[in-house]
Structure formats: C-alpha cells, structure tokens
Amino acid sequence: MKLPKISPLLLIVFTSYLSFSQIAVETPEPSYIKTIQFRGDTFLGELPTIKLGDPLQLSFDDIIGDEHDYYYKITHHDADWSPSKLARSEFMRGMDNVRILDIENSVATLQMYSNYHLNIPNKFTQALTKTGNYLISIHNEEGELVFSRKFMIYNPQFAVGVQIKRSRDLNYVNTKQVVRFFVDGGEQLIINPRQNLKVVIIQNNNLKTAITGIAPQFTVGNKLEYRYDQETAFWAGNEFFNFENKDIRGATAAIRYIELKSLYHNYLYTNPTRKDIPYTFNPDINGNFVITTLQGRTPRSEAEYAWIHFSLNHTELDKGKELHVYGNFNNYVTNASTKLTYNPRTYRYELPMLLKQGFYNYKYVLVEEDGTINRKEAISGNYWQTENDYQILAYYRRPGGRFDELVGVGSSNSSVITN
C-alpha cells in the first residue's frame, strides 16, 4: 500500500508544534559552573516561589575565571511546565536575552573564579507581570545553553491551608508523612475545579519528587478539601547531614582533618548508614545551603573552594546500584559528579567534591539500575518524626483564560505533625 505524501509545509508546522509543546526540563550545569544560588527574598539558596512584584536573585561561579559572557532568557510555562500561549510581551515588561553585567572576580583565593550576579527586576527586565511557572536559561556568547533553573511567581488570591498527618495505613504509619490541605477561593467562584484547578505538593524545595494530578475530594461552599492518605503521602526520610567550613583552616564537629595541597581538602567524618538506627533529631535546614567565610568580608568573591571528601560506611552494593550525594547545593541531581566509589581498603564509599565555603546540608541516596532513586530510603531510613518542609502550589485556569495562574501558596512543617 502506497502511503500518501506529506506536505513539507505541514511537516514543518507539525515539527514546530512538537517542539513548542515540549515539557520544560532543567538543564544541569557543566563542571566549570559552581555554586548556583537561586532565591527570592530569603537568605538561603532554594527553589524560589516569589510573590508577584518581589525581586529574584541568581548567582553562580565560573571557575575558569576568565570573565566569560553569559546571557539570560526567561520563558513562561503552564502548571505542567508546557510552554504557555503568552507572548513574551504579555508576561515581561522590558526584554531578556541580555548579558549579565554584574561580575566579580575572586580575591586572594587559591581557586580562581568569576562570580556572576543577576537581579530581576533590572534596567533591561523591568518586571515579570504574570503569575505562573518560569524557566530561566543561561547561555554563553555562542548562544549555547549552559544551564537552566525553574522558579514560580504567585499572587495570593486563594487561601491554601496545610496540615501534616501520620499515615492511616498501618504499613506506612512509621515511615510516611501525609499532606492534607484545602484551597479556598473566598468570594471568587472556582469554576470546574477538577479540570481548571491544579495543585502541586513539594517536599523540601525538591520539584523532582513533587506530587501532582490530585483532584479535590469534596467541596464545602467554595472551599475544596483534599483529605487523601497515600495519594498525598511522602516518604518521611531522615534529617540531613551537615558540615560547615567557613573557617577553611579549622576542623569542626563534622570535619575530621584538613590538608593543603594546590587547594584545601576537608575530610568529613565517615557517616553511618541509618536505616536500622533509631531516629535522632538533628537540626537542619532541610537540604539547603549558605555560602559564608571567615577569611573575608564578601563571601561572593572571597570564599575559598575546597575539596570536600564525603565518606559513607556501607558494604559494597550489587552491580548496577549506585550511591550518590544529594541536596539543594546540586539541585537534587544525581550524575557522575555526585557518585560515590567503593574503596575496598577502607570498606567505605567515598567521593571528593569541589564546593565553596559555607554551611551545607546533604544526604546519601541509592540509585537503582534503571536510574531511579530508591525512595524507600534504603540508606537513611524513614521516620515519621523527621522534620520536613512542605509547600502547596495552587494553579487556576479561569474560564476563557490562556494560561495557568498561580493563585495560592500554602506551607507547613512536619514538626507540627499530628495523628
């Protein structure tokens, strides 16, 4: 049977449609880009969820240190991270694809680097005028994509209330935390909420483990209730490990000893595998990090880089399984740079990683042969008492609307968990 010929113009249109409809995925940074700090008005580097009109900050280091030119582009997306139908002029006042001008070179450090800092709004990008999901992409002077990060802008029109509960399923009562919440439109009538209202549940600023696709169970007036159990449950995990090396020459409770070679080397105490150890509260900042130094007044350009030597006491895994260091400092990515290697001489898994001075939270995760992370926390264990941050994002597509508005944000912490 002879197939009909496809018009070249139709093929171009179809290909363009597929390209335009792609779901936005963050591009990890290359090895020479370090310490990406992305935040709103918070001190911590974290996943930014900022109020409409508030500032946004992005900074990163290029350890080649040659003041390379970098440009930023911003795109707007719907709740599922597909491109929205808005033209750039509809969500942005001003322009993007502009060179980042705020550059500082390192001062008196062993590792040379250039720090790039971007504030939005600025004289080129005066404002982002719509709520919703955004992706900022950093390109080099050849137009090649270097890395990208997601952020969200909201306008609090709907109230979002959040409660953290223990699971009602006896199989998970000691290992999971359940998020229950409501979305209240107040005087605004929510039309067809099962189709037009979308919610996203986030644990510890990690979009990669977010729960989506949850419909309201019932309505009380204009208040939508979500009282699920397993559908909105997260593995509770364990508290993060941490270290601080703001004094690059001083050992701490987490750093066993220090060596000075071409750069400083900080050797952390070996961490235990905690899956069979009773839960112990250890205050953390839920996977985040802060850059700080005692060797200078400006961490941005005076903080040193050091090789941090991670060490985990664990027997050798079966072939195909891997152990990785995990945290917001690397945007919860697992790749070759985060993989630990088993040392048969020490009977431990080890990894050196180049990090800027500061205070870091981290944990270890088991990656299966298919590349997925074992969420049952085979390394750290799961404990219902673990202190975690939770955030609910509520998106609404108004009748006749052309994009998903982020109309409500709610948050809670499992320190107030109840049965």
Average pLDDT value over all residues in the chain: 92
Phi and psi torsions of 150, nearest 5°? -95, 150
What is the pLDDT at residue 45?
Answer: 58
For the domain with range 26-154, which CATH number is right: 2.60.40.10, 3.40.50.740, 2.60.120.430, 2.40.10.340?
Answer: 2.60.40.10
| Distance from C-alpha of 336 to C-alpha of 332, rounded to nearest angstrom | 13
Q: Which of 14-23, 296-305, 323-332 has the lowest mean pLDDT?
A: 14-23
- pLDDT greater than 90 at residue 4: no
| Distance from C-alpha of 114 to C-alpha of 294, rounded to nearest angstrom | 20
What confidence tier does 47 reach under pLDDT thresholds 50, 70, 90? confident
The full set of domain ranges for the chain reads 26-154, 159-236+385-416, 241-367
Q: Is 325 helix (H, G, I), strand (E, B) or coil?
A: strand
Q: Which of 18-22, 187-191, 194-198 has the lowest mean pLDDT?
A: 18-22
Angle at 149 between CA 145 and CA 152, to 5 degrees: 140
For the domain with range 241-367, which CATH number is right: 1.10.287, 2.60.40, 2.40.70, 1.10.357?
Answer: 2.60.40
| Distance from C-alpha of 308 to C-alpha of 312, rounded to nearest angstrom | 13
Could you tell me if 326 and 362 are in contact, meaning their C-beta atoms sit under 8 angstroms apart?
Answer: yes
| Domain spanning 159-236+385-416: CATH 2.60.40 | yes
* pLDDT one-digit tens code per residue, 376-402: 877 999 999 999 999 999 999 999 999
Could you tell me if 47 and 204 are in contact, meaning their C-beta atoms sit under 8 angstroms apart?
Answer: no
Residue 276 has which token pair?
């069979």
Q: Do domains 26-154 and 159-236+385-416 have the same CATH topology?
A: yes
- Helix H segments across 33-180? 88-91
Residue 54 has which token pair?
């508030």
What is the pLDDT at residue 15?
Answer: 44
